[in-house]
Amino acid sequence: MLRKTLIAVAIVVGAATPLLAANDVNPQADAKAFKEYFTKRFPKVPLKDFVNGPYSMDEGLRKQWEAIDQFPPYDFAVDKGKQMFATPFKNGKTFADCFPNKGIGIRQNYPYFDTKSGQVISLEYAVNQCLKDNGEKPFDYTKDDMAAVTAYMAFTSRGKPFDIKIPNDPRALAAYQRGKEYFYTRRGQLNFSCASCHVQSPGHRIRTEVLAPAYGITAALPIYRSAWNGMGTTTRRFRTCNSQVRGMPLPGGDEDYRDVEYFLSYVSNGLPISGPGTRP
């Protein structure tokens, strides 16, 4: 157990990810190490505030954010998503027919591992599966309609803590491990991993942008970004990161993106959903 915990801590602070056998994968140890690393590094940040990303660690940005949030720029997306959620498909069904609790207050349970299909189901993937199952055209994974529907679903779950499960299934552990390896693997011409910015350098600036901590980073998605002048989804955030390190973005719904979201959301268990969010 000590060896596994030490491996987990080493991974959190940026060491290369070892290739582990299924019985060596320890999500609980990873989550504990993740939480300890960030809370020790940023002892003045209240635990639940990590979901606010750069606003939790930069006083100037926080004041700007609080001023902006009096008239949230994502309100239009929430309103649009609510309307879309209630609008019947051609067959008379709605999004509510595809989700537990009619899709209200469930964001904190996504992504989840589906034992029937043997894959991770992100909220975006579930939305598009719902459309396909009802004879509708799937949404673009990056913005617009997808951002609106998921913004509304996130809004109905605000304050609810992440509750991501990893079932006792070797396929689930493998998916979690793939997501973890993707997060720590360097890529692109700049040879950066996700962890290079969001584990090693949160709170620091890259040009005008303050880097967010990885702990709780998925809780605020989808987000309105000033740089985008609009809403973007989890997929758009991942694709943007790939592009910024001059790597190759993956297609929407790609298994790697779903697996890395599974990893990041699991190690953030207990933190509250704060999406839709705003970022510079």
For residues 121-156, one letter each, b for 16 or more C-beta atoms within 10 angstroms of the residue's C-beta and e for the rest, the string is bbbbbbbbebbeebeeebbebbbebbbbbbbbbbbb
Can you give the pLDDT at residue 23? Answer: 58
Can you give the pLDDT at residue 18? Answer: 44
Q: Which residues face 225 on adjacent strands?
A: 230, 279
What are the C-alpha distances in Å from 153 to residues 26, 28, 78, 180, 243? 30, 27, 8, 26, 28
Determine the Cα–Cα distance for residues 80 and 150; give it in Å rounded to an integer. 10
Can you give the pLDDT at residue 165? Answer: 97
Determine the Cα–Cα distance for residues 181 and 94; give it in Å rounded to an integer. 37
pLDDT at residue 100 tops 80: yes
pLDDT at residue 64 tops 50: yes
Determine the Cα–Cα distance for residues 210 and 57; give it in Å rounded to an integer. 9
Q: Which CATH superfamily groups domain 75-155?
A: Cytochrome c-like domain (1.10.760.10)
Helices in the chain by DSSP H: which ranges? 2-12, 27-41, 59-68, 75-86, 123-133, 144-155, 170-184, 194-198, 234-244, 255-266
pLDDT at residue 203 tops 60: yes
Determine the Cα–Cα distance for residues 9 and 71; give it in Å rounded to an integer. 40
Round the average pLDDT of the chain to a whole number and report it. 90
Q: Say if pTM beats, i.e. exceeds, 0.75.
A: yes
Determine the Cα–Cα distance for residues 31 and 265; give it in Å rounded to an integer. 10
Q: Known catalytic residue: 241? A: yes
Determine the Cα–Cα distance for residues 264 and 215; give it in Å rounded to an integer. 7
Can you give the pLDDT at residue 61? Answer: 82
pLDDT at residue 83 tops 90: yes
Q: What is the pLDDT of residues 107-160, one digit of tens each?
A: 999 999 999 999 999 999 999 999 999 999 999 999 999 999 999 999 999 999
Where are the chain's structural domains? 2-71+164-279, 75-155
Same fold flag, 2-71+164-279 and 75-155? yes
Q: Please give the CATH topology (third level) of the domain spanning 2-71+164-279.
A: Cytochrome Bc1 Complex; Chain D, domain 2 (1.10.760)
Determine the Cα–Cα distance for residues 13 and 278; give it in Å rounded to an integer. 27
Determine the Cα–Cα distance for residues 78 and 71; give it in Å rounded to an integer. 13
Tell me the average pLDDT across 36-64. Answer: 91
pLDDT at residue 274 tops 90: yes
75 contact partners, CB below 8 Å, separation of at least 6: none
Q: What is the pLDDT of residues 28-38, one digit of tens each?
A: 999 999 999 99
Q: Return the higher-pLDDT residue of 208 and 268.
A: 268
